[in-house]
Amino acid sequence: MSMAPWNSLTFFLGAWFFFVMPLSAEVTVERLPRKAVVKIDGRLFTEYLIQSGGKPILWPILGPTDKPMTRAYPMKRIPEEKHSDHPHQRSMWFSHGDVNGIDFWAPRKSGALIRHREFVKTESGPVGLLVTRNDWIGPDGRKQCEDQRTLQFGNDVNCRWIDFAITLKSPGRPVTFGDTKEGTFGIRVAEPMAVDSRKGGRFVNSAGQTNEAAWGKPAPWVDYQGPVDGEILGIAVLNHPSSFRFPTPWHVRTYGLFAANPFGKKEFTGDKTKDGTYTLAPGKSVSFRYRVIFHRGDERQGRIAERFEKYSK
């Protein structure tokens, strides 16, 4: 099977970010048997775990002040967090709740599995690089689709960032992604940041809509911000204009879920005449691109609108 489109995407992203991102630190990406460890100037940024709860995830993720910015549960139980809701929402991940009728969003319930196939490439330098390939396996053991993920890691003075690009490809037969709110590129923010924690957390999109008013709305970016161990920090997710169905709708919740989902048109709008279902023809592919910025302060202090303008170009 030819991997030329994926290899071209990897080359383009690597060259593009080398020339446009401010470079200020040495990023190391170390490949281990079941994970890859990413450090910035020797300090842990994140780990890419090839398997956790039926899928690859990134956890922990430490922000620009070395504080954890995503929920630890269920990978680790800490007293400051509740240990009850949505155990499939694991730090940062990519999956979907209806792939040929199979639930990959909560894969342990359905018996599905996003299985790591291989590390394709790792690089250290001013920008770290990690490329992986994965197979989406149904409960009957049959491959439903496959993906290649290209992750890049870096920082500047006030933030750390992850660029996440993923290409999904059909395995020689059609693949249908159903209209459901349960998807797709997800983050579960640190519990004190969540609006429902009532500690000052909030989220806002590029149109200025906040909290419940931002749920299900298409937007180029959303920022989720709140207190973490005595200081205000934020997580912004930027959707690149070249990504599938830009600008994506957002499945972002006051309890701490933060997800970009381009498939949930009917569920987000309540309009039964709309349908976000999408079918990949045999041998075809579809790509998604996001930049995740872990920053100090709110969306204004983090200069998220300005950062999106640079990212989009």
Question: What string of H, E and C letters represents the secondary structure of 4-21?
Answer: HHHHHHHHHHHHHHHHHC
CB 308 within 8 A of CB 246: no
Please compute the mean of the pLDDT values over residues 69-88 and round it to a whole number: 92
Token readout for 216 is 């299900």
Averaged pLDDT score across all residues of the chain: 93
Domain formed by 4-312, architecture: Distorted Sandwich (2.70)
Strands (E) across 109-241 are located at 113-123, 128-137, 143-155, 159-169, 175-177, 183-188, 202-205, 221-228, 231-239
Read off the pLDDT band of 18 (50, 70, 90): very low
Token readout for 249 is 């709708």
Residue among 1, 9, 7, 2 at smallest CA distance from 243: 9
Examine the pLDDT at 227 and tell me if it is beyond 90: yes
Separation between Cα atoms, residue 282 and residue 303, nearest integer Å: 42
Q: Which helix (H) or strand (E) holds 64?
A: none
Q: Could you state, in order of their start, the residue ranges of all structural domains in the chain?
A: 4-312
Separation between Cα atoms, residue 44 and residue 99, nearest integer Å: 34
Separation between Cα atoms, residue 236 and residue 292, nearest integer Å: 6
Kindly report, residue by residue over 25-54, the tens digit of the pLDDT.
899 999 999 999 999 999 999 999 999 999
Residue among 301, 98, 63 at smallest CA distance from 189: 63
Residue 293: how many CB atoms within 10 A of its CB? 28
CB 99 within 8 A of CB 145: yes
Kindly report, residue by residue over 97-107, the tens digit of the pLDDT.
999 999 999 98
Q: What are the residues facing 279 on neighbouring strands?
A: 176
Read off the pLDDT band of 109 (50, 70, 90): confident
C-alpha to C-alpha distances, 126 to 39, 209, 244, nearest whole angstrom: 11, 35, 28
Query: Any idea how long the chain is?
Result: 313
Separation between Cα atoms, residue 85 and residue 312, nearest integer Å: 35
Residue 18: how many CB atoms within 10 A of its CB? 13
pTM, entire model: 0.91
pLDDT at 6: 52
pLDDT at 24: 56
Expressed in percent and rounded to 5, the helix, strand and coil fractions of the chain are: 15, 45, 40
Examine the pLDDT at 4 and tell me if it is beyond 50: no
pLDDT at 255: 97
Token readout for 39 is 């450090």
Q: Using only the alpha carbons of the chain, give its radius of gyration.
A: 18
Share of the chain above pLDDT 90, in %: 88
